[in-house]
Amino acid sequence: MLNAVYSGPFVTKAKEEFSNSQNANIQKWSAYVSGSVNRQEFLECALDWVSKGNVGDYMSKHRKDKNIDELKKYFNTVIDWVSRVFTDVESEMRGLEWGRLYEKYHKKTYNPAKISAGVHKLYGDPYIKNRRGIFEYILSGSVDTKLLDIRIFDEAIKRSVYAKQTKEAETKEISNCPHCAIGHDTNKSKIWSFGEMEADHVSAWSKGGATSAKNCEMLCKTHNRAKGNR
């Protein structure tokens, strides 16, 4: 990415700061930036953040600059902001799009103690698959559960899948539990109430199946439990 086209005082100075394994800040930066100093990945990250992803444009404009003040200041501002908002360092923080998150959320005020408690709570939740999504989930007000890839279907999905399945079952005069419907006992045509059913992932969550309406099937409790905890 940083090819010879950009060589000049700006790149020289930038490498001194961001591609220098002697820099005392490397350890702190490593908590948030992935890659290696020697391979210029920290420099690439700093440029990506300051340029909002338009590194080429940024370099064309700044390659002849005699200082890297803006680059350095912006990078440190982002890092300081992250470390102030999230007081605990978690390994999943490394390599997140902190530049984008800073731009989107830095004007909001956060209570670091509350944030820390929130992070711990979510880290203890076995139903969350995407821990890397925890940080933006919290920054954005803890509402967008899609960021977390959660294993539990929400009430609205369950209700709508139940309604659809039940309507179809009533038309065909079979059970609204698809497993009961293909069985031979008296439950073959039983219409279970919503409270008697549980949501199941058609394609297993543990194998990447989404927690979406499309991948949701309501089963009677007996059949859902027989399928095992997956």
Binding site for Zn ion (CB under 5 A): 177, 179-180, 220, 223
Instruction: Work out whether the CA dihedral 126, 132, 133, 136 comes out positive or negative.
Output: positive
Listed in sequence order, the DSSP H helices in the chain are 9-18, 26-30, 41-50, 55-62, 69-85, 98-105, 112-123, 134-139, 155-172, 178-181, 221-226
- Min. distance of Cβ 209 from Zn ion in angstroms? 20
Q: Please say which residue, 50 or 200, places its beta carbon nearer to Zn ion.
A: 200
DSSP bridge pairs for 198:
219
In the complex, minimum distance from the CB of residue 154 to Zn ion, in angstroms, rounded to a whole number = 22
Least distance to Zn ion, CB of residue 180, Å: 3
Q: Measured from the CB of residue 152, what is the shortest distance to Zn ion in angstroms? A: 20
Q: Which is nearer to Zn ion, 124 or 228 (CB)?
A: 228
Nearer Cβ to Zn ion (71/177): 177
Q: How far is the CB of 191 from Zn ion (least distance, A)?
A: 11
Specify the residue, 135 or 153, whose C-beta has the smaller distance to Zn ion. 153
Q: Which is nearer to Zn ion, 161 or 220 (CB)?
A: 220
Query: Which DSSP symbol is given to 132?
Result: G
- Alpha-carbon torsion (44, 49, 52, 58), positive or negative: negative
